[in-house]
């Protein structure tokens, strides 16, 4: 496991380390299955979202998004059943491009997505891997068409998204047990949708002109072999939590402009079957759900800003006396 040595950081022991393996999951076959989480929400009911803007004062705009884990942490085991989603985004700019850069008639957007080493069940490295670069490109596609870039010629803006905790690709018992899972990568769609929503909030917080607010949403088709009803064997759900489903057939993440009814980014995975439109429509429904949260949060932030401004105006006289001035 000798990874390329990074001399600028503290490296792990060169022998390599292993994540702990829990005894009961290896020795008692039934125990593993008893830990399996299941979906308690309705098929069209998305998870709750916590969103906050303005968390990084030195950035021109920033936001933090959290989708708490549905299953509460269990008291009887140390193994977390599902993951939650925690993403922070900050926007630096628009600022002038360096003199050496060639002329650009519109705003240059750079998007970086980085997972924290503790974001997933398996520890991640500090150097960006292909998944992160891939996600960065997807988020960039989702955002580029939304900003009115012509208003900032010769400038660049940087959107930095940090995933502190990401959704998992499947239930850890399946992923580790079979090795194959079912294709994998389902969690990335949730992370992408979260990244789009939080980056959009940060861009609005930065005051960059946009044609509309973009928001992310995910829908999935799942197969449920235990269901008795034939209708429930294969069904469409909104905002899937991959760990809660045994088999996901297909999933789709979109970046959606609700008031213009436009899709800026789409990522479909798996076997969609005969009805791809239904799946995409489901994803847009989920996106509308997160948009409602987005709007409310941005309105609240705006109201708070105006309130402090008016308070400042009232207390301005008192403040002036405390102010110091430089003369001569």
Per CB under 8 A, the list member of 57, 98, 105, 225 interacting with another protein is 57
Give yes or no for residue 89 binding another protein (CB under 8 A): yes
Angle, alpha carbons 207-209-211 (nearest 5°): 135
Q: How far is the CB of 293 from another protein (least distance, A)?
A: 20
Query: Cβ of residue 236: shortest distance to another protein, in angstroms?
Result: 28
- Minimal distance in Å, beta carbon 223 to another protein? 27
Query: Which range, of 8-16, 175-183, 184-192, 302-310, touches another protein by CB under 8 A?
Result: 8-16
3-state SS assignment for residue 13:
coil
Which residues, other chains included, contact 57 with Cβ-Cβ below 8 Å and sequence gap of 6+? Answer: none
- Taking the least distance from each CB to another protein, the nearer of 88 and 258 is 88
Stretch that binds another protein, among 91-99, 180-188, 260-268, 270-278 (CB under 8 A): 91-99
∠ CA 4-122-25, nearest 5°, is 135
Placement of tokens 């980085």 in the chain: 114
Query: Are 196 and 217 in contact, with CB atoms under 8 Å apart?
Result: no
For residue 39, the number of C-alpha atoms closer than 13 Å in the C-beta half-sphere is: 22
What does the block give as tokens for 180? 């194959």
The yes or no reply on residue 165 touching another protein (CB under 8 A) is: yes
d(CA 167, CA 188): 7
Q: Is 50 in the site for another protein (CB under 8 A)?
A: no
17 interacts with another protein by CB under 8 A: yes
Which residues sit at the interface with another protein, rule CB under 8 A? Answer: 8-26, 55-59, 62, 64, 69, 73, 75-80, 83-84, 86, 88-92, 95, 112, 114, 116-121, 123, 126, 128, 158-160, 162, 164-165, 320-328
């Amino acid at each position: 496991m000798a990874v390329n040595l990074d001399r600028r950081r503290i490296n792990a022991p060169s022998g390599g380390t292993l994540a702990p393996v829990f005894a009961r999951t290896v020795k008692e076959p039934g125990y593993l299955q008893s830990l399996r989480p299941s979906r308690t929400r309705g098929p069209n009911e998305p998870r709750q979202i916590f969103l906050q803007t303005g968390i990084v004062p030195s950035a021109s705009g920033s936001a933090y998004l959290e989708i708490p884990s549905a299953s509460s942490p269990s008291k009887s085991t140390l193994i977390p059943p599902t993951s939650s989603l925690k993403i922070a985004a900050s926007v630096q700019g628009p600022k002038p491009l360096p003199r050496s850069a060639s002329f650009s008639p519109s705003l240059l957007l750079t998007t970086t997505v980085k997972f924290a080493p503790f974001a997933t069940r398996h520890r991640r490295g500090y150097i960006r891997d292909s998944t992160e670069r891939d996600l960065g490109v997807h988020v960039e596609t989702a955002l580029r068409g939304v900003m009115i870039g012509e208003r900032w010629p010769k400038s660049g803006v940087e959107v930095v998204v940090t995933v502190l905790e990401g959704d998992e690709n499947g239930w850890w018992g399946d992923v580790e047990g079979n090795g194959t899972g079912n294709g994998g990568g389902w969690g990335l769609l949730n992370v992408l949708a979260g990244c789009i929503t939080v980056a959009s909030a940060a861009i609005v917080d930065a005051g960059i002109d946009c044609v509309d607010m973009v928001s992310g949403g995910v829908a999935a088709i799942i197969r449920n072999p235990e269901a008795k009803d034939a209708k429930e064997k294969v069904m469409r759900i909104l905002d899937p939590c991959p760990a809660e489903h045994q088999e996901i057939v297909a999933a789709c993440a979109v970046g959606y402009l609700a008031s213009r009814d436009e899709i800026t980014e789409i990522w479909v995975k798996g076997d969609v079957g005969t009805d791809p439109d239904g799946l995409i429509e489901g994803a847009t429904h989920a996106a509308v759900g997160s948009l409602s949260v987005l709007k409310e949060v941005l309105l609240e932030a705006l109201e708070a800003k105006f309130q402090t401004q008016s308070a400042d105006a009232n207390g301005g006289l008192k403040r002036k006396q405390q102010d110091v001035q430089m003369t001569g």
